[in-house]
Amino acid sequence: MFYIYIIYSKTLDKYYVGSCQNIEQRLKDHLNSRSKFTKVVKDWELKYSETFLTRSEACKRELQIKKIKSRKYIEKLIITKS
């Protein structure tokens, strides 16, 4: 399985969208400074995820969300999934 995920930092008040094969490990990576963008702070929380059968599908969805470039869209995804 492959995933897209959205994490949020309260300190930065920013969302980060990514894709991976293991969400738990990837979140640990973000919290342990293994990602250039997210290493600035250590308060990232998983807010949203979607599951896909292939890496290709997950990457396409990740790019779709990133191309929209809308905080409102991301927050709507999170609220709708809750």
The pLDDT of residue 53 is 98
pLDDT at 82 over 70: no
Domain map of the chain by residue range? 2-81
**Mean pLDDT score, 13-28:** 95
Strands (E) located in 23-75: 44-52
For the stretch 23-32, contacts whose Cβ atoms lie closer than 8 Å and that sit 24 or more positions apart, written own/partner, are 23/49
CATH topology of domain 2-81: GIY-YIG endonuclease (3.40.1440)
